[in-house]
Amino acid sequence: MSRHNQDLASAFSAEQDRTDRLEKQLAGVFDPEGVSSGVLPSVFRVRAGNFTGTAFSVGKKATGNQANLFTNYHVVAETWTDGGRRVSLERGNTRINATIVKVDKAKDLALLRANQKIVSLGTSTTQVKPGQPIVVVGAPLGLDDSVTTGVISAYRPNDADGPTIQFDAPINPGNSGGPVVNANEQVVGVATAKAKDAEGIGLAIPIKTACETFAVC
């Protein structure tokens, strides 16, 4: 096959994939593979001292060749309290230095900034509802590019620690700070914790809380 024909075949294949994906979206079909492929390039394992978690690029307010990323405060707490500000973003063979810019201990949130452009994820402006399908992306036990799926179990606006999203997708240590994403590839929450001695109870901070806290979305 000539190079020209190969290029045409590749272009056709890419267009077919795009068409199939759009058809699924229009039909209301949840496509975890499609959502994951769109989200994964924006999600990193974050290494802060001896602790690892997850961080993701978000918002459109980064200047120049920079990126803003969200994670949980408890992921970077040891580094922050020791006076350090440097963390590492890791994905496969990629290593990017980042800085802890701001934290909110009470909300368990931290804002990181990298001096490198990273495709940012969009954020949802609507409140989640029970039963909505979601994908959770992160680095459980340090295993980057890990994906789990599930549904929103409940939205709890009156929790003592602030509004909380409950979901049933499996998460583990290392998922902290990762995005909880809806069928439209929009972040709805920041994965934060799982219930001890229970299965299928994960908790996330609504993305609205994170965006309002750091004003970068």
Instruction: Give yes or no on whether 35-41+122-214 and 42-114 have one common fold.
Output: yes
Q: Could you report the per-residue pLDDT of 61-117, keeping only the tens digit for each?
A: 777 789 999 999 999 999 999 999 999 999 999 999 999 999 999 999 999 999 999
State the residue for tokens 């990181």.
112
pLDDT digits (tens, 9 = 90+) for 169-209: 999 999 999 999 999 999 999 999 998 888 899 999 999 99
Q: Please report where in the chains the tokens 């009470």 appear, as a residue.
A: 106
Query: Where do the structural domains in the chain lie, given as residue ranges?
Result: 3-30, 35-41+122-214, 42-114
Counting residues of the chain whose pLDDT is more than 90, the rounded percentage is 79
pLDDT at 161: 85
Query: At the topology level of CATH, where does 35-41+122-214 sit?
Result: Thrombin, subunit H (2.40.10)
Residue 2 banded pLDDT, cuts 50, 70, 90: low
What is the pLDDT at residue 135?
98
Active site residues: 74, 108, 176
Helix/strand/coil (H, E, C) string of 158-206?
CCCCCCEEEECCCCCCCCCCCEEECCCCEEEEEEEEECCCCCCCEEEEE
Q: How confident is residue 60, by pLDDT bands cut at 50, 70 and 90?
A: confident
pLDDT for residue 197 = 82
Q: Dump pLDDT digits (tens) for 113-163.
A: 999 999 999 999 999 999 999 999 999 999 999 999 999 999 999 998 899
CATH number of this structure's domain 42-114: 2.40.10.10
Extended strands (E) in the chain: 43-48, 51-57, 67-71, 86-91, 94-104, 109-114, 122-123, 133-138, 146-156, 164-167, 179-181, 186-194, 202-206
- From CA 85, how far away is CA 211, in angstroms rounded? 21
CA distances from 44 to 23, 143, 158 (A): 29, 10, 31
